[in-house]
Amino acid sequence: MKIIYKGICCLFFLFLTIHVNAQEKPNIILIISDDAGYADFGFQGSKEFKTPNLDKLATQGIVFEQAYVTAAVCGPSRAGILTGRYQQRFGFEENNVPGIMENYNLPDDEMGLPLEEKTMANYMKSLGYRTALFGKWHQGNADQFHPTKRGFETFYGFRGGARSYYEYNEAHPTKKTEDFLEKGFKNYGETDEYLTYTFANAANDFIKKDDEAPFFIILSFNAVHSPMDALKEDLGQFPKLSGKRKKLAAMTLAMDKACGSVFETIESLGIEENTLIVFTNDNGGPTDSNASSNKPLSGTKANHLEGGIRVPFIMKYKGVLSEGERYTYPISTLDLLPTFYQLGKGDLNQLSNIDGVNLIPYLKGELNERPHQSLFWKKENRAAIRDGDWKLLRFPDRPAELYYLPNDQSEQNNLASKYPQKVQKLYKRLFEWELTLARPRWQLKRKYEGKAMERMDKYRLMEKEN
């Protein structure tokens, strides 16, 4: 009897230990909007758009004033987020858009996140997390790149980079398989619900599952990427706006309400103090195609001006991180993976070749220096480096530009001719970084190569006229 009693006690304490350890690991939710403008949120200063739920999140957490993505377009940016590595290190330099690529003997169906790269989901799954992705994938359309084969146990979304917010049917068809909604692997089926709400509701259902293991969710909205599909009731909330701007405001409001439903679910379950929430965007807003605003930043999606690469960013962890504060040093979405991994009780020494850093010591005041002295961007011959508060932009067809961002975040005062030695130094740093990169796996066709440059020139002309 004593042996049986001891055995029961051991099992009880083992169960208790496992339960306590599971509770020590926070649930993690990463929410990514798509193509949102830097200034198109209340917490970013917008007086036109309505984002009450995200504004509330901002008061409950930390707003990052200088958060950067690793690319000014969707696919490469998300590759950097998922791996914690500069995506150029494994050749994911261009957007993976089938049909418009000219590549190195690489067919369209092989354009995706390389299989040898470990993802955020792989890492979190190894720590005992339940992993899920809801929404946009855009890391390869072929089966070998599928989210369920890249560490996500649960997937409900679409493989491509953009799609309609309404269901595809005979009256509203599509020929692209990557556009279709998919639950798990190849279980295709559309919904009659507005897509932004579909993804949030799927996340809510996952959160509500009775499971001892902590969860890791990426809620990857295609909102507010084109097409400009807005709900009638949301359009009515913006009588003073018109055209694309009005539609964008309505789409942003719907996304905010979807985020609010997730926040409400977390609060209702009583897990707010054990859940980390991050909200950010994948690149700057396309000011031409969807009328977004990146003010006061200069630039737009697809170029390396601040408006193309600096994004809204909120982090909330109730009881651990400060509330209602702003973090002023530059950070990168590369930092998400090591931050999540450390919070999940992972050993950071086991992360190899990671370019991001764990942000928690910086946010708690344990480390007072900058998380990054230098940050880099590159696409074809265009590149940029931020070193401290200086930023150099390199172009293939014009002299480099140099800016001192604390006094000129709109990048209007080019100091290259005034500080030639600084230009030379940053050029050298940029070149040294480029020597560590892999060869691009695919390239845009020639007719698309100048698109970002044309956007930049158009934007500069508009600024001069205004």
Whether the per-residue pLDDT at 41 is higher than 90: the answer is: yes
The structure tokens listed for 207 are 């959160």
Between 214 and 14, where is the model more confident? Answer: 214
Q: What is the pLDDT of residue 450?
A: 52
Q: What is the pTM assigned to this prediction?
A: 0.92
Are 287 and 294 contacting, i.e. CB atoms less than 8 angstroms apart? yes
Q: What is the mean pLDDT of residues 354-370?
A: 98
Q: What is the mean pLDDT of residues 163-175?
A: 96
Q: What is the mean pLDDT of residues 381-385?
A: 97
Q: Using a pLDDT cut of 70, give the percent of the chain over it.
A: 88
Q: Using a pLDDT cut of 90, give the percent of the chain over it.
A: 85
Whether the per-residue pLDDT at 13 is higher than 60: the answer is: no
Q: Using alpha carbons only, what angle is made at residue 141 by residues 204 and 195, rounded to the nearest 5 degrees?
A: 35
Q: What is the mean pLDDT of residues 225-243?
A: 98
Q: What is the mean pLDDT of residues 18-35?
A: 79
Whether the per-residue pLDDT at 455 is higher than 60: the answer is: no
* Cα distances (Å, whole numbers) of residue 287 to 51, 67, 73: 19, 19, 13
- Compute how many other C-beta atoms are within 10 angstroms of the C-beta atom of residue 211: 11
Q: Is 148 in a helix, a strand, or coil?
A: helix
For residues 204 and 199, give the distance between their C-alpha atoms in angstroms, rounded to a whole number: 9
Q: What is the mean pLDDT of residues 338-354?
A: 95
Q: What is the mean pLDDT of residues 438-465?
A: 62
How many residues does the structure list for the chain?
A: 466
The dihedrals phi and psi of 323, each to the nearest 5 degrees, come to -110, 140
Q: What is the pLDDT of residue 214?
A: 98
* Cα distances (Å, whole numbers) of residue 128 to 147, 316, 319, 425: 18, 22, 23, 45
The strand pairing partners of 67, in sequence order, are 311, 331
Whether the per-residue pLDDT at 452 is higher than 80: the answer is: no
Per CATH, 25-374 and 377-465 having the same topology is answered: no
User: DSSP secondary-structure letter at 119?
Assistant: P
Domains of the chain by residue range: 25-374, 377-465
Q: What is the pLDDT of residue 97?
A: 84
Whether the per-residue pLDDT at 91 is higher than 50: the answer is: yes
What is the Cα 191 distance to its own chain's centre?
25
Are 111 and 91 contacting, i.e. CB atoms less than 8 angstroms apart? no
Task: Please tell me whether the peptide bond between 296 and the residue prior to it is cis, using omega within 30 degrees of 0.
Answer: yes
pLDDT digits (tens, 9 = 90+) for 56-85: 999 999 999 999 999 999 999 999 999 999
Query: Domain 377-465 - what CATH class?
Result: alpha beta
For residues 300 and 185, give the distance between their C-alpha atoms in angstroms, rounded to a whole number: 35
Query: How much is the mean pLDDT over the chain?
Result: 91
Instruction: Report which of 113, 177, 107 is spatially closest to residue 145, judged by C-alpha positions.
Output: 113
Q: What is the mean pLDDT of residues 392-412?
A: 97
User: DSSP secondary-structure letter at 26?
Assistant: P
If you search the block for the tokens 């359309």, which residue do you land on? Answer: 141
pLDDT digits (tens, 9 = 90+) for 273-317: 999 999 999 999 999 888 999 999 999 999 999 999 999 999 999
DSSP result, 193-214: S-HHHHHHHHHHHHHTS--SS-
* Contacts of residue 245, Cβ cutoff 8 Å, sequence gap at least 6: 48, 291
Task: Report residue 39's pLDDT band, with 50, 70 and 90 as the boundaries.
Answer: very high
DSSP result, 86-106: -GGGGT--S---TTSEEESS-
Between 272 and 110, where is the model more confident? Answer: 272
Q: What is the pLDDT of residue 362?
A: 98
Q: What is the mean pLDDT of residues 87-96?
A: 95
Are 62 and 306 contacting, i.e. CB atoms less than 8 angstroms apart? no
For residues 130 and 213, give the distance between their C-alpha atoms in angstroms, rounded to a whole number: 6
Whether the per-residue pLDDT at 249 is higher than 80: the answer is: yes
* Contacts of residue 448, Cβ cutoff 8 Å, sequence gap at least 6: 100
The dihedrals phi and psi of 408, each to the nearest 5 degrees, come to -155, 60
Give the lowest-confidence range in 185-194, 251-260, 283-292, 369-378: 283-292
Q: What is the pLDDT of residue 44?
A: 98
Q: What is the CATH number of domain 25-374?
A: 3.40.720.10
Q: What is the pLDDT of residue 459?
A: 55
